């Protein structure tokens, strides 16, 4: 196989290497002729953080509080470091979004711990979506008790900040292999965006990717195509997910997908191992695989600026 040969999932080796090498760079999304274009930005090319009208938020993902494996024996410390890094950014983000697997075993004590830790974030609001590890044995009931206030159905919701419309989805329930949204949530998305103008920037949060990143490992959502069909009329749509514990970016028409890294432990690149089990890195290398994501948007601007930053 050459480096440009396609895998069964439509990704080339060159794409995999290029996308995973973007860690620490800024990926700026701009709109040209109605199409979102992703490119690597030069330092300082992202939307300015000193603009008081700019939208600025942070994505963290997959903290897995309660994990005790060799890949990271101190996930609580890693998550604390991520929180400290957010609080030291030099600006107060409009909100922080955690895109799932807050806990590892969805115990009440783990939910209490992560909620208490996130209460120390210096931000206007903290939002979450659940991962599959947050719904073990109870279909997400303990998760919703801790984080479900103001949500609909099994925990989905939407909100608006500074001209951007955000949709938070739940695709970790009713799992067989792939993520699943279900008819009630699909109808929620349809009705939610029906009232919006097509020039409204849309950001969608989910835990499992809304594109077929690697279905063999369950890295995709079986009914995402239907949900995304309601978003095709918008000029700029950005989908941010967790679950895969690594950076990956893909653009399909007007929709750009960004998979986030983790604050806990890395997972292997698609197809490089029999299963997506935690990867134990050499001593001193773990933090190179962990990080947070800064996202900004200037109202009236061409698109979102996405910057992935390693854990300090």
Residue 7, beta-bridge partner list: none
- Domain assignment present for residue 16? The answer is no
In a domain, 182, yes or no: yes
Residue 6, in any domain of the structure: no
Answer yes or no: is 1 within a domain: no
pLDDT at position 50: 64
Distant-in-sequence contacts of 227-234, Cβ < 8 A, 24+ apart: 227/169, 227/181, 227/185, 227/186, 227/189, 228/255, 230/189, 230/190, 230/193, 231/189, 231/193, 231/202, 231/204, 231/255, 233/198, 234/193, 234/196, 234/198, 234/199, 234/200, 234/201, 234/202
Residue 10 lies in a domain: no
How many Cβ atoms are within 10 Å of 44's Cβ, its own excluded? 7
Residue 108 CB neighbours (<10 A): 11
Whole-angstrom distance, CA of residue 103 vs CA of residue 142: 11
Say what the pLDDT of residue 84 is: 98
Cβ density class 277-296: b for 16+ within 10 Å, e for less: ebbeeeeeebeebbbbbbbb
Is 58 inside a domain boundary?
yes
**Domains identified in the chain, total number:** 1
Whether 11 maps to a domain, the answer reads no
Give the CATH number for residue 48.
Answer: 3.60.21.10
d(CA 92, CA 94) in angstroms, rounded, equals 6
Backbone angles phi, psi at 246, to 5 degrees: -165, 160
Closest Cα to residue 110, out of 142, 80, 77?
A: 142
In a domain, 133, yes or no: yes
Query: What residues make up the domain containing 93?
Result: 22-310
Per-residue pLDDT of the chain (312 residues; tens, 9 = 90+): 333 333 333 333 333 333 333 333 333 333 322 233 333 333 334 444 567 789 999 999 999 999 999 999 999 999 999 999 999 999 999 999 999 999 999 999 999 999 999 999 999 999 999 999 999 989 999 999 999 999 999 999 999 999 999 999 999 998 888 999 999 999 999 999 999 999 999 999 999 999 999 999 999 999 999 999 999 999 999 999 999 999 999 999 999 999 999 999 999 999 999 999 999 999 999 999 999 999 999 887 767 899 999 998
Pairing of strands 164-168, 157-161: antiparallel
pLDDT at residue 228, rounded to an integer: 98
């Amino acid at each position: 196989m050459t480096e440009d040969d396609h895998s069964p999932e439509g990704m080339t080796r060159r794409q995999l290497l290029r996308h995973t090498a973007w860690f620490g760079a800024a990926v700026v999304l701009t709109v040209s002729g109605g199409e979102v274009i992703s490119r690597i930005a030069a330092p300082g090319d992202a939307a300015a953080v000193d603009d008081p009208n700019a939208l600025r938020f942070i994505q963290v993902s997959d903290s897995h509080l309660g994990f005790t494996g060799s890949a990271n024996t101190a996930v609580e410390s890693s998550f604390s470091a991520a929180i400290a890094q957010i609080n030291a950014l030099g600006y107060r983000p409009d909100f922080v979004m955690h895109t799932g697997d807050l806990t590892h075993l969805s115990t009440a004590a783990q939910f209490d711990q992560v909620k208490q830790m996130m209460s120390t974030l210096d931000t206007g609001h903290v939002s979450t979506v659940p991962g599959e590890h947050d719904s073990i044995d109870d279909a997400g009931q303990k998760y919703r008790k801790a984080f479900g206030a103001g949500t609909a159905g099994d925990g989905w919701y939407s909100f608006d900040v500074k001209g951007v419309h955000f949709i938070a989805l739940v695709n970790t329930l009713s799992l067989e292999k792939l993520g699943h949204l279900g008819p009630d949530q699909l109808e929620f998305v349809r009705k939610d965006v029906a009232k919006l103008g097509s020039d409204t920037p849309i950001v969608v949060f989910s835990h499992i990717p809304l594109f077929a990143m690697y279905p063999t490992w369950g890295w995709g959502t079986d009914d995402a195509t239907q949900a995304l069909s309601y978003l095709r009329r918008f000029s700029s749509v950005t989908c941010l997910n967790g679950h895969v514990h690594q950076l990956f970016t893909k653009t399909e028409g007007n929709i750009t997908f960004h998979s986030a890294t983790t604050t806990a432990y890395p997972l292997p690149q698609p197809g490089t191992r029999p299963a997506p089990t935690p990867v134990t890195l050499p001593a001193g290398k773990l933090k190179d695989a962990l990080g947070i994501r800064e996202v900004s948007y200037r109202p009236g601007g061409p698109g979102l600026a996405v910057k992935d930053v390693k854990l300090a």
